Amino acid sequence: MIKNGEKSITTVRSMKRFYTISIVYFALLNGCYPQPLEDTARYEIEFQSANILSATKSCENDQWKFTVETDSWTGNGFVIMATDARFERHPLSSFEAAEDGSSDKLRVFLSIIPDWQDFSAGSSTGWLCSDEETLSVTVAIQHALDGQVTDCIYWGESLWTDFSLIDECNAWE
């Protein structure tokens, strides 16, 4: 026997079904129905050792900028800025990789700070724009899977052997 204020199980189920159908009906009338997914391309990426296709360095308005373009995906890379007295190592990060793995672009922006001892890898440097002529700069890219250096270039004097196990690094003009 149902007491005053209680609802039967059948009544509750009917109300739930009514609300569910109402919500679905409302959604369909207002265009809120599942859309078919776009046809997304599927690529089978075969990771290879990336090579540097182009590289630029510039220093303007108290900021260094390094940009590298490669012929396949990378595992990112790094920049070493050095003289005989000291060096800094900064990460290069991918900012535009081809969906099919056929290219990658990496870069880093480094603000110049007054005290070189306060440099922060990936964001600031103690090297001034006026140091460019005496500075040795090495740019290296890493394999997408194992992180091993696959290619590198340098400007200035070759100090690469001081910082790596790789045999050679090519001068970049």
Per-residue confidence at 47, pLDDT binned at 50, 70, 90?
A: confident
Per-residue confidence at 39, pLDDT binned at 50, 70, 90?
A: low
For 7, 28, 93, 132, the CA distances from 19, given in Å and listed in that order, are 16, 14, 51, 71
Report how far residue 26's alpha carbon sits from residue 32's, in angstroms, rounded to the nearest whole number: 8
Average predicted confidence (pLDDT) for the chain: 81
Q: What is the model's pLDDT at position 72?
A: 94
